[in-house]
């Protein structure tokens, strides 16, 4: 079996496993085919088919290229963010870390260091920034929402301190060219290989390792997770280090893709990432979600935006779409479960008219 | 496990001890750290540069703080119920643009009508948030992140490239943020009155106290008979009203309003509330604290300029302040918990 095929096989079985693990009360194929992730993927595919038919210029390598180049930062950061939100935490400082990395790259490159050193130091800065978040959340025990609002301001502030209102743009053309180069005629950007590695890494980590499975337990109940022997604080710490590191990678990508290092790079990206992750089916309460679902969510937002832009819908309407999708995606399950509960109650009342409306279910079962 | 802390700062009544002395009540005020920080900041800056407290300097600081103070007071109400409203920046933007349009559409419209219309508009937007949160039972963080985008998109679609400038508005309206009484600009006085009213409501009325109960433990509050849904909806509507007021005053304060007015304000506002001692998971804190937090964060900007610190350091310092506020809050919570344990074990 060729290497590519193996990778393909791993990813399919990964999807299957995730869906199979969801306690939905369905069994066998219907579990896989009717799960939350599967529906997300159907919507994505349906939209892609529709767009290819309705928009003459949509189905082309150019689309693939620009669409992917645009979503890569969100796609990258969404991976560790999925894990963080599954544990019931959140990281709002990701875009600031990307901005700080970008500013550092600019200043270090300007100072005449060679590109290798610049990259290593910049990514290390992301690791340190993530470790600071992790320390405050996991070791000191502060709420991550508050901590990362603080570090959002702090890291963006440090980016300003580092580079001020300058911009550095004279990165080596060979390198910036590489970042927008495509794989042959497919239109897929070369850097997607790296992004794919990150995606597979976090997918395998979340779905196939004891560490990853433990994160779900952690998201459901911290106490229970501690009792079954999960290192709650250590897990959280490393997750924040991971978001810091990947955000730094996204910052590096942003800098070289646009060939510009500025303090305000990627600002506001944190809300886009979180919107995409939640749209992908991750519960903001923790304990629910999967990597394939999130990838579908990110790509759905990306392709809808791209399609609207192709049909000359102004950028301003795009954010209405993002917001509505987000709200719809969280409200629909609530509405469905409310309808289901109402149906269930009605059926119960019809079958056992003598049972009081608030009667316990066990009594109802005995009556049968 | 956390205790409900009254906005006045005294602990919940404990069986083992009587009322604490006024002095110790002051020492345990949740707002004390932010108040001390504010006083220290003003003192130090004034010692280095006396011009900082010249009438014009004070006026500038107050003008800059007014909008965020109103928004932070509203946000505090929502956060106290263990929710959050990220859409306030977008609400402010929509109302500000609406205010500008109103002045152009109806020449000679009385200012008070404009203010009331803005507050009503804000109330409608706040009610949308509140209804989505309470009916769908989805976390406010997600819903208001969604409405942040939707309101901003509507604002963009409505405004397009249009901007309203100060010339489009009557002179008296602009004067709200120019004229002063006892050194306080009129819009700042409006903000102070609003904050006092809301603070009295939160600490002195039954429905205000209910909001703290909901934030401490929503399920317990429901069991206790608190109408949780109605109260939470009310908190969002009130926040919308205040954001609407802020939007109108923004139009008076700043020269132009357009499609991007108020972008990115939401995190500043949440930060101000957190710095002011409002616990991010609800149940503790006060509107006054949030207003002080907003004043502190905006004063820092002015202070750094006054002592000639590189302006680029400003945001990093704000970040450090937020972190310091959370750590102080955490230490206080740990100490309260320990004291409660000690007093409980004494009772046995």
Contact between residue B77 and residue B198 where contact means Cβ atoms under 8 Å apart: yes
Q: Is residue B163 part of a domain?
A: yes
Looking at the predicted structure, is the pLDDT value of residue B214 above 50? yes
**For an interface test with A, which of B142, B156, B328, B337 has the most A Cβ atoms less than 10 Å from its Cβ?**
B142
Lowest mean pLDDT among A350-354, B101-105, B231-235, B290-294: A350-354
Residue B87: give its domain's CATH number. 1.10.3470
Express each pLDDT in A194-211 by its tens digit.
Answer: 999 999 999 999 999 999
How many domains does chain B contain in total? 1
CA dist list (Å): B208 to A100, A127, B158, B213, B231: 42, 44, 36, 9, 9
Q: Is residue B51 part of a domain?
A: no
Max intra-chain CA distance, chain B:
72
Express each pLDDT in B169-208 by its tens digit.
Answer: 777 777 777 777 777 888 888 899 999 999 999 988 888 8
Residue A150 to residue B326, Cβ atoms within 8 A: yes
Q: Is residue A93 part of a domain?
A: yes
- Sequence-distant (6+) residues with CB within 8 A of B193 are none
**Pick from B137, B141, B326: CB nearest A142:** B326
Looking at the predicted structure, is the pLDDT value of residue B11 above 50? no
**Claim to verify: residue A244 and residue A269 sit in the same structural domain:** yes
Average pLDDT over every residue of A287-306? 90
Q: How confident is the model at residue B8 (pLDDT cuts 50, 70, 90)?
A: very low
Q: Is residue B308 part of a domain?
A: yes
Residue A275 to residue B318, Cβ atoms within 8 A: no
Q: What is the pLDDT of residue A126?
A: 96
Q: Is residue A363 part of a domain?
A: no
Q: How confident is the model at residue B28 (pLDDT cuts 50, 70, 90)?
A: low
| Domain of A130, in residue numbers | 61-313
* Residue B181, φ and ψ in degrees, nearest 5: -120, 120
Give percent of chain A above pLDDT 90. 34
Express each pLDDT in B126-163 by its tens digit.
Answer: 999 999 988 887 788 888 888 888 898 888 888 877 77
Express each pLDDT in A67-84 by its tens digit.
Answer: 889 899 999 999 999 999
Q: How confident is the model at residue A284 (pLDDT cuts 50, 70, 90)?
A: confident
Q: What's the sign of the alpha-carbon dihedral A24, A30, A32, A33?
A: negative
Residue A201: give its domain's CATH number. 1.10.3470
DSSP-assigned states of every residue in B111-137: HHHHHHHHHHHHHHHHHHHHHHHHHHT
Return the H-helix or E-strand segment holding B273.
helix B265-275
Nearest to A163, CA basis, from A51, A289, A88, A260:
A260
**Claim to verify: residue A274 and residue A335 sit in the same structural domain:** no
ipTM for the complex? 0.76
Nearest to B212, CA basis, from B191, B233, B193, B235:
B235
Q: Is residue B46 part of a domain?
A: no
Express each pLDDT in A150-162 by its tens digit.
Answer: 898 899 999 999 9
Exposure of A53 in the CB half-sphere (CA atoms within 13 A) = 5
Q: How confident is the model at residue B326 (pLDDT cuts 50, 70, 90)?
A: confident
Average pLDDT over every residue of A49-59? 85
Cα–Cα distance, B69 to A335 (Å, whole number) = 37
Express each pLDDT in B219-260 by its tens digit.
Answer: 888 888 888 889 999 999 999 999 999 999 998 888 788 778
Q: How confident is the model at residue B13 (pLDDT cuts 50, 70, 90)?
A: very low
Which residues partner with B185 through β-bridges? B180
Average pLDDT, chain B: 83
**Residue B219 CA, distance from chain mean position:** 26
**Claim to verify: residue A221 and residue A236 sit in the same structural domain:** yes
**Residue A345 CA, distance from chain mean position:** 37
**Claim to verify: residue A332 and residue A211 sit in the same structural domain:** no
Average pLDDT over every residue of A345-358? 68
Looking at the predicted structure, is the pLDDT value of residue A186 above 90? no
Express each pLDDT in A218-238 by its tens digit.
Answer: 988 888 888 888 888 999 999
Looking at the predicted structure, is the pLDDT value of residue A365 above 50? no
Q: Is residue A196 part of a domain?
A: yes
Return the H-helix or E-strand segment holding B185.
strand B184-185
Cα–Cα distance, A280 to A301 (Å, whole number) = 10
Q: How confident is the model at residue A298 (pLDDT cuts 50, 70, 90)?
A: very high
Pair of tokens at residue B192? 């102070």
Q: What is the pLDDT of residue B75?
A: 94
Looking at the predicted structure, is the pLDDT value of residue A34 above 80? no
Q: What is the pLDDT of residue A141?
A: 87
| Domain of B114, in residue numbers | 64-335
**Claim to verify: residue A303 and residue A336 sit in the same structural domain:** no
Q: In A, which residues are within 8 Å of B136 by CB distance?
A: 330-331, 334-335
Pair of tokens at residue B141? 């963080």
Residue A356 or A92, more confident: A92
**Claim to verify: residue A228 and residue A154 sit in the same structural domain:** yes
**Claim to verify: residue A318 and residue A254 sit in the same structural domain:** no
Cα–Cα distance, B120 to B128 (Å, whole number) = 13
How many residues are given for chain B? 348
**Claim to verify: residue A272 and residue A125 sit in the same structural domain:** yes
Q: Is residue B40 part of a domain?
A: no
Size of interface A-B (CB pairs under 8 A): 144
Taking the CA of residue B121 and the nearest CA in chain A, the distance in Å comes to 19
Cα–Cα distance, B92 to B263 (Å, whole number) = 9
Give percent of chain B above pLDDT 90. 24
How many domains does chain A contain in total? 2
DSSP-assigned states of every residue in B217-258: -HHHHHHTT--HHHHHHHHHHHHHHHHHHHHHHHHHHSS-B-
Q: Is residue B186 part of a domain?
A: yes
Residue A154 to residue B146, Cβ atoms within 8 A: no
Cα–Cα distance, B133 to B155 (Å, whole number) = 22
Helix pair A315-351, A269-279: axis angle to 10 deg = 30
Express each pLDDT in B33-73 by its tens digit.
Answer: 888 888 888 888 888 888 788 778 788 888 888 999 999 99
Average pLDDT over every residue of B265-271? 86
B156 lies within 8 A of chain A by CB = yes
Q: What is the pLDDT of residue A360?
A: 45
Average pLDDT over every residue of A339-349? 83
Q: What's the sign of the alpha-carbon dihedral B301, A271, B281, B131?
A: positive
| CB contact burial A336-357 (16+ within 10 A = b; e otherwise) | eeeeeeeeeeeeeeeeeeeeee
Q: Is residue B278 part of a domain?
A: yes
Cα–Cα distance, A138 to B160 (Å, whole number) = 45
The 3-state DSSP composition of chain A as helix, strand, coil percent (nearest 5) reads: 75, 0, 25
Q: Is residue A279 part of a domain?
A: yes
**Pick from B86, B136, B323: CB nearest A331:** B136
Cα–Cα distance, B191 to A215 (Å, whole number) = 45
Q: Is residue A27 part of a domain?
A: no
Looking at the predicted structure, is the pLDDT value of residue B23 above 70? no
Q: Is residue A38 part of a domain?
A: no
Residue A160 to residue B327, Cβ atoms within 8 A: no
Lowest mean pLDDT among A4-8, B18-22, B249-253: A4-8
**Claim to verify: residue A135 and residue A221 sit in the same structural domain:** yes
Looking at the predicted structure, is the pLDDT value of residue B348 above 70? no
Cα–Cα distance, B74 to B273 (Å, whole number) = 9
Average pLDDT over every residue of B88-98? 92
Residue B319 to residue A155, Cβ atoms within 8 A: yes
Taking the CA of residue B148 and the nearest CA in chain A, the distance in Å comes to 7
Cα–Cα distance, B338 to B319 (Å, whole number) = 29
Average pLDDT, chain A: 83
**Claim to verify: residue A122 and residue A154 sit in the same structural domain:** yes
**Pick from A274, A285, A319: CB nearest B153:** A319
Contact between residue A171 and residue A102 where contact means Cβ atoms under 8 Å apart: no
B13 burial via Cβ count (<10 Å: 0-12, 13-18, 19+): exposed
**Claim to verify: residue A201 and residue A324 sit in the same structural domain:** no
Q: What is the pLDDT of residue A234?
A: 92
Q: CA angle, A248 as apex, A244 and A251 as ends, to 5°?
A: 140
What is the three-class DSSP state of A182? strand
The 3-state DSSP composition of chain B as helix, strand, coil percent (nearest 5) reads: 75, 0, 25
- Would you tell me which residues 158-187 of chain B have a C-beta closer than 8 angstroms to some C-beta of chain A? 160
- Sequence-distant (6+) residues with CB within 8 A of B64 are B298, B301, B302
| Backbone dihedral region for residue A266 (phi beyond 0: left; psi -120 to 50: alpha; all else: beta) | left
CB count within 10 Å of CB A74 equals 22
Q: Is residue B19 part of a domain?
A: no
Cα–Cα distance, A126 to A364 (Å, whole number) = 57
Pair of tokens at residue B108? 């000679």
Residue B116 or B176, more confident: B116
Average pLDDT over every residue of A128-139? 95
Taking the CA of residue B201 and the nearest CA in chain A, the distance in Å comes to 26
B342 lies within 8 A of chain A by CB = no
**Residue A270 CA, distance from chain mean position:** 10
**Claim to verify: residue A267 and residue A330 sit in the same structural domain:** no
């Amino acid at each position: 079996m060729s290497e590519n095929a193996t990778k393909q096989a791993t990813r399919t079985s990964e999807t299957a496993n995730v869906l199979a693990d969801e306690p939905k009360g369905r069994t066998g194929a219907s579990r896989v085919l009717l799960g939350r992730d599967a529906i997300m993927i159907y919507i994505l595919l349906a939209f892609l088919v529709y767009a290819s038919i309705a928009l003459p210029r949509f189905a082309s390598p150019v689309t693939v290229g620009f669409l992917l180049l645009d979503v890569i930062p969100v796609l990258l950061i969404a991976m560790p963010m999925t894990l963080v939100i599954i544990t019931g935490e959140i990281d709002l400082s990701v875009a600031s870390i990307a901005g700080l990395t970008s500013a550092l790259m600019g200043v270090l490159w300007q100072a005449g260091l060679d590109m290798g050193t610049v990259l290593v130091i910049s990514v290390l800065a992301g690791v340190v920034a993530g470790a600071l978040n992790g320390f405050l959340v996991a070791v000191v025990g502060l709420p991550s929402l508050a901590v990362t609002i603080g570090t959002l301001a702090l890291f963006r502030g440090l980016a300003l301190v580092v580079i001020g209102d300058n911009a550095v743009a004279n990165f080596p053309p060979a390198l910036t060219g590489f970042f927008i180069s495509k794989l042959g005629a497919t239109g897929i950007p070369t850097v997607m290989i790296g992004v794919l590695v990150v995606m597979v890494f976090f997918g395998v980590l979340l779905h196939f390792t004891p560490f990853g499975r433990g994160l779900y337990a952690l998201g459901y109940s911290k106490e229970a997770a501690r009792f079954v022997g999960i290192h709650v604080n250590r897990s959280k710490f490393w997750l924040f280090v991971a978001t810091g590191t990947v955000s730094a990678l996204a910052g590096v990508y942003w800098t070289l893709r646009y060939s510009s290092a500025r303090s305000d790079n990627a600002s506001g990206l944190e809300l886009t990432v979180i919107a995409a992750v939640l749209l992908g089916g991750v519960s903001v309460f923790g304990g629910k979600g999967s990597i394939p679902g999130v990838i579908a969510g990110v790509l759905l937002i990306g392709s809808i935006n791209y399609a609207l832009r192709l049909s000359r819908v102004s950028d301003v309407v795009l954010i209405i779409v993002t917001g509505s999708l987000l709200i719809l995606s969280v409200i629909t399950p609530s509405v469905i479960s409310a309808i289901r509960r109402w149906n269930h109650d009605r059926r119960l009342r019809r079958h056992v008219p003598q049972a009081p409306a608030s009667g316990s279910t066990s009594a109802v079962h005995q009556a049968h | 496990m956390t205790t409900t802390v009254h906005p006045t700062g005294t602990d919940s009544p404990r069986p083992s001890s009587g009322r604490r002395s006024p002095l110790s009540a002051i020492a345990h005020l949740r707002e004390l750290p932010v108040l001390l920080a504010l006083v220290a900041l003003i003192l130090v800056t004034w010692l280095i540069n006396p011009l900082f407290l010249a009438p014009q300097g004070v006026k500038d600081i107050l003008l800059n703080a007014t909008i965020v103070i109103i928004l932070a007071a509203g946000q505090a109400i929502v956060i106290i119920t263990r929710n959050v409203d990220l859409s306030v920046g977008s609400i402010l933007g929509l109302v500000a643009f609406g205010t500008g349009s109103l002045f152009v559409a109806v020449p000679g419209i009385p200012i008070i009508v404009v203010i009331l219309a803005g507050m009503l508009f804000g109330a409608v937007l706040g009610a949308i948030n509140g209804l989505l949160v309470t009916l769908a039972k989805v976390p406010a963080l997600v819903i208001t992140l969604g409405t942040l985008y939707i309101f901003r998109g509507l604002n963009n679609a409505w405004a397009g490239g249009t901007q309203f400038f100060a010339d489009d508005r009557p002179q008296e309206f602009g004067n709200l943020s120019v004229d002063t009484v006892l050194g306080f600009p009129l819009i700042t006085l409006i903000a102070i009155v609003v904050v006092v009213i809301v603070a009295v409501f939160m600490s002195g009325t039954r429905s205000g106290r209910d909001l703290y109960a909901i934030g401490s433990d929503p399920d317990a509050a429901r069991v206790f008979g608190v109408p949780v849904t109605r109260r939470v909806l009310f908190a969002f509507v009130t926040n919308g009203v205040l954001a609407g007021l802020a939007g109108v005053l923004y139009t008076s304060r700043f020269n132009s309003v357009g499609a991007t007015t108020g972008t990115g304000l939401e995190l500043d506002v949440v930060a101000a509330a957190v710095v002011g001692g409002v616990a991010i998971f609800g149940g503790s804190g006060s509107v006054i604290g949030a207003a002080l937090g907003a004043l502190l964060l905006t004063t820092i900007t002015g202070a750094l300029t006054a002592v000639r610190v590189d302006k680029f350091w400003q945001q990093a310092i704000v970040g450090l302040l937020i972190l310091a506020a959370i750590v102080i809050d955490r230490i206080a919570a740990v100490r309260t918990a320990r004291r409660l344990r000690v007093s409980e074990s004494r009772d046995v």
